[in-house]
Amino acid sequence: MQGFANFMWLLSLALILFSGFALIDAAVRREDAYRAADKKTKPFWLIILGLAFVVNLIFDILSFLPILGLIATIVYMVDVRPAIRQITGGRGRRGGSSSDGPYGPYNGGR
């Protein structure tokens, strides 16, 4: 029985870390990228992922609410995050380089 309890504790810890990573990732992404990717808004995802993180901290992993939080986190990680990274070029809050124009990098007319 102790082995199962240890496994469940590790699974719960992994779920907390996963939802925490998603929350931090959503927080550092640019707000306009969410709208450009047509993936709701940044405050929407921060609220959803924040609730998922808190639920994972409070409730046991075998409860119903952590499963919903896991689903929301997975949706963010496999759908929203790649779309935002494609728009921002993989960068978070930072923009492009100083030589980037409105349509991509400026190469000096070469």
pLDDT above 60 for 109: no
pLDDT, tens only, 3-19? 898 999 999 999 999 99
pLDDT band at 63; cut points 50, 70, 90: confident
Specify whether the CB–CB gap between 37 and 89 falls below 8 A.
no
State the pLDDT at residue 107.
62
The pLDDT score that the predictor gives to residue 90 is 67
d(CA 47, CA 27): 10
Q: Name 29's Cβ contacts closer than 8 Å, sequence gap at least 6.
A: 42, 84, 88, 92, 93
pLDDT digits (tens, 9 = 90+) for 15-35: 999 999 999 999 999 999 999
> pTM for the complete prediction?
0.76
Tens-place pLDDT, residues 83-105 = 999 988 765 555 555 556 566 66
The 10 Å Cβ neighbour count of residue 16 is 18
